[in-house]
Amino acid sequence: MLRPHPHSSIYYIIQEEIPLATIFVIGLWVFPYSSFFLNESTYMISSPLNAKEFANSRATSSGNLGVTLDKTLGGWMIATHGVVFIPWLTPGFGFLAYIMMLCRGFR
């Protein structure tokens, strides 16, 4: 069996950081992401009353746009500020989604 050298960074990541850090980050990421995703889906599907197919395709397109913007802004954030600030993107996007839902409610 091939094992990494004990002084390599791969060994350190596998043995020391991955289990606890991964569980912690996934736990922090899943709860806001799932609630934002459900809100976005409900928001998109409920807007046109007589065109459910259009709402479905619009929900898929907005999901793709969200992934594109998230990856673009995430890459920009890593390039300019470092990985430390990446978790702040999720609440930022959630806040923008909440503002958009409030704006729709005032129509």
pLDDT digits (tens, 9 = 90+) for 5-30: 555 555 555 555 566 666 676 677 67
pLDDT at 65: 82
The DSSP result for 29-69, as a single string, is: HHHHHHHHHHHHHHHHHHS-SS-HHHHHHHHHHHHHHHHHH
Can you tell me the distance from the alpha carbon of 95 to that of 101, in angstroms, rounded to the nearest whole number?
A: 10
pLDDT at 1: 47
Sorted by where each begins, the domain ranges of the chain are: 38-107
pLDDT tens sequence across 28-84: 767 766 666 676 677 777 766 677 777 777 777 777 787 788 788 888 888 898 878
pTM of the complete model? 0.49
- DSSP-derived letter for residue 7 is T
Which amino acid, 100? M
What are the φ/ψ torsions at residue 82 (nearest 5 degrees)? 105, 170
Which of 70, 47, 73 is CA-nearest to residue 59?
47
Q: Once rounded to an integer, what is the mean pLDDT over residues 95-103?
A: 81
